[in-house]
Amino acid sequence: MKKQISQFSGINALMGGVFEGLFPISEIKKHGDFGLGCSDGLAGEVTIDSCHFLEAKGSKGLRLMTDAEKLPFAQITTFVPDKQATFNHLLSKDTLYQELANYTLLDNVFLAVKLEGVFDTLKIRRPSEHDKPCKTALEVAELQIVDNLTHIEGTLIGFWTPEFFQNISVAGFHLHFINKEKSIGGHVIDFSIKQGTLAYEVKHSLNIELSDKEVYLKHDLKIEDMDKIIKKVEN
C-alpha cells in the first residue's frame, strides 16, 4: 500500500480566496478514509473519520455530509498506523512534536496523526454563520466561533507537515477534533491531555490535485506575506 496523502487544492489558494467547492466528496473519498478539509464557501471545518465527512459549522454541531457535496480543500489518506501507544503524562500541542520524535524521525516527512482520550482542556474554532462577504481566509477567521472546552472525550485527526512545505500545505500540525458523541467539532488551536492513545503513520508521498475550473485558473495566487497569513489563520 502506498503511504501517500492526497491533497485537493493548495493551502495558498484557500487562504487567497478560492472558497468554492471544486472537488466532490465522492471523488475525494476514493483516496482514503482519514483526514480533514473545509466545506463550500469556507462555511465549515470538515473532519474525515472512517470515510465519514463531518462538518462543524456555527452553532449547528456536526453534520454528516453527502457524496454530492463539494469541498474547496481537503487532505485525505488511508490510515494504517505504524505505531499506536498509550501515554500517562501531560501532552499538549506544544509537546506533541517531541512525543512523536521519541518514536520516529519526522522533520522531513509527513505524518498522519490520531490522538484519542479525555481532553483536560481543548480550544477549537469553526466558522460562524454570517452573511458578510469575505474575500480571504483571514476575513473569515475574524468571524470564527472559538470554544474553550474541558474534560471532553473525543479524537484529534490530522497531519504533520514539514516546514519546507509551508504555502503548499500547513506546516507543522494541522488537527481537527470530533467528540465521542459526534456532536461537537472544529479546528484545533490547543489542547492538553494527561492520558490517552496516540497513533501515527509516516507518509512519504504527497499527491496534489488542482482544479481545472475557471474560478481557480483565473485567480491570482501571488499573495504577499502568505506565510504570515497562514500562521495567523491556523493559530
**pLDDT value for 80:** 98
Residue 199: pLDDT above 70?
yes
Across the chain, what does the average pLDDT equal? 92
- Give the residue among 165, 152, 222 at the shortest CA–CA distance from 191: 152
CB neighbours of 78 closer than 8 A, spacing ≥ 6? Answer: 1, 32, 33, 34
**pLDDT value for 221:** 86
Mean pLDDT along residues 50-69: 94
Mean pLDDT along residues 43-61: 94
**pLDDT value for 138:** 73
CB neighbours of 85 closer than 8 A, spacing ≥ 6? Answer: 103, 197, 198, 199
What gap in Å lies between CA 185 and CA 157, rounded to an integer?
Answer: 11
Copy the grid coordinates of residue 52.
465519514
Helix (H, G, I), strand (E, B) or coil at 228: helix
Q: What is the 3-state secondary structure (H, E, C) of 36-57?
A: EEECHHHCCEEEEECCEEEEEC
Of residues 224 and 77, more confidently modeled: 77
Determine the distance from the C-alpha atom of residue 80 to the mean position of all C-alpha atoms in its chain, rounded to a whole number: 18
Of 66-80, 81-95, 133-147, 170-184, the least confident = 133-147
Architecture of the domain whose range is 4-234: 2-Layer Sandwich (3.30)
pLDDT tens-digit readout, 116-165: 999 999 999 998 876 656 666 777 777 789 999 999 999 999 999 999 99
Mean pLDDT along residues 12-26: 92
Determine the distance from the C-alpha atom of residue 180 to the mean position of all C-alpha atoms in its chain, rounded to a whole number: 18
Domain ranges of the chain: 4-234
Of 7-16, 28-37, 71-80, 199-208, the least confident = 7-16
CB 32 within 8 A of CB 112: no
